[in-house]
A and B are shown apart, each in its own frame.
Chain A
């Protein structure tokens, strides 16, 4: 027993060492990348990190071109496989740590769907879980210095939001027929106010996908741009750069929070919209 425990300790010690080494390398790479950008004088390009460019050629970006975005999409899929498939391969009744993570995510989103949208929304749970895991993984992968954040692009989040909007709207009409329109007819309001409210409700309904997509892309993009601006100061200020580095660390912490929260917000809003589609009556 004693030898076993020392073995695991040694192993976890080695794991920690490797983790620290990796973090150190990442920091060095980050600083190196900054130094590459540093062309003398102060030149900060906070938006460069969002540029989509081909990985293996210099040509224009076509539909099927393998770009840096493609790579980070693939890494997100890989992350999902690692968390949800490799993590659960033990299928243990008493879960291992990695299996607990997968089960935690599963339970978290499943409960959210059930609590917000009701039991009859559970058939759509895999779809919502897909959205949640993709956004979560993409956001966290985007926090790796030098990475590309797929969720920072309007094109991506707009497709996500449009998919939700179309699904929910079609589902509403399929499930409720014309009764879905009662979503816009506030029966509890005075009769005279109802047409006005209907107009407002209608507008707000069509604004949903816009806010749904821009909220995610905007949060991620703004955070990453601010990080880059602060990092640029650090590169330009020499020794005094310690102040912006402290700022970068603080904002990075905030970004970790934002990454999780935005995934959560996107998912819970999807559940709310789904609830409206399944139960349109106020």
Chain B
């Protein structure tokens, strides 16, 4: 179907073109190509020149200055924004740095404080220990002295008992004889002290 249509079309086209190119047909005075109708050339040239001058003036007086101004402004805005962004970035970096410094400082401070506290506690502890040691030592010395005293007392009592017993023994062994207390005491003391 389509082929048939094409064929008829081509056949018809030739006839039609013959009509169009071959004869004048009412609508215009141009035979064949209206492009070669020199009678209209001056008219077209005139209006073309008017058109071009009009477009040139519109562009150079209004459109181009406007567009180039907008583009320059945009470029300026971009540059400014980039500079601002750079500045903000720098500020952010600075803030981070100061934050890090502050953090490090705080850490050092905390460490120092904890160390100080530890040292203080240690010192206090040492003092307490020393005090306790001293107390213990004092108590020990006191106890030793008491023990020595008690020992001394015991020896003295034993000596006294021995002396009495020795005097009684001497009385018993030599009745009626006067007991030399001093000699007995000396002998007992000699024996007891060894």
Contact = CB atoms under 8 A, between A and B. Distances in A.
A63 B194 CA distance: 168
A117 interface: no
Given A47-B30, A52-B43, A64-B46, A134 B67 contact: no
Contact of B73 (A76, A93, A154): A93
B71 A103 contact: yes
Contacts of B8: 237, 240
B112 interface: no
A193 B2 CA distance: 57
B64 A126 contact: yes
A152 B63 CA distance: 27
B122 to A, nearest CB: 68
A134 B33 contact: no
Given A73-B50, A88-B70, A236 B12 contact: yes
B56 A61 contact: no
A92 B47 CA distance: 34
Contacts of A153: 34-35, 44
Contacts of B47: 67, 69-70, 73
Given A51-B28, A73-B51, A63 B70 contact: no
B64 A129 contact: yes
Contacts of A74: 51
Given A42-B12, A129-B64, A77 B58 contact: yes
B33 A50 contact: yes
Interface string A54-98: 000000111111010110011011001100110010011101000
B25 A134 contact: no
Interface residues of A, number: 64
B108 interface: no
A80 B27 CA distance: 31
B21 interface: yes
A167 B185 CA distance: 160
Nearest to A49: B34
B153 interface: no
B58 A44 contact: no
Contact of B35 (A46, A154, A241, A243): A154
Contacts, number: 186
A159 B20 CA distance: 28
Interface residues of B, number: 58
Contacts of A154: 35-36
B40 A130 contact: no
Contacts of A241: 5
A52 B66 contact: no
Contact of A233 (B9, B19, B58, B71): B9
B48 A150 contact: yes
A53 interface: yes
A221 B19 contact: no
Given A52-B34, A102-B63, A134-B55, A93 B70 contact: yes
Contacts of A152: 35
Interface in A125-139: 126-127, 129-131, 133-134
A244 B2 CA distance: 9
Contacts of B71: 103, 106
Nearest to B43: A61
A74 B44 CA distance: 12
20 contacts: A45-B19, A45-B25, A48-B34, A51-B29, A61-B43, A64-B43, A69-B47, A73-B50, A73-B51, A84-B63, A85-B63, A91-B69, A92-B70, A102-B63, A126-B60, A130-B59, A155-B35, A155-B40, A156-B44, A240-B2
Given A67-B40, A153-B35, 7 more contacts: A43-B20, A47-B30, A52-B34, A70-B47, A102-B67, A134-B55, A156-B45
Interface of A: 42-48, 50-53, 60-65, 67, 69-70, 73-74, 76-77, 80-81, 84-85, 88, 91-93, 95, 99, 102-103, 106, 126-127, 129-131, 133-134, 150, 152-156, 159-160, 163, 217, 221, 229, 232-233, 236-237, 240-241, 243-244
Interface of B: 1-2, 4-6, 8-9, 12-13, 15-17, 19-21, 25, 27-30, 32-37, 39-52, 54-56, 58-60, 62-64, 66-71, 73-74, 77
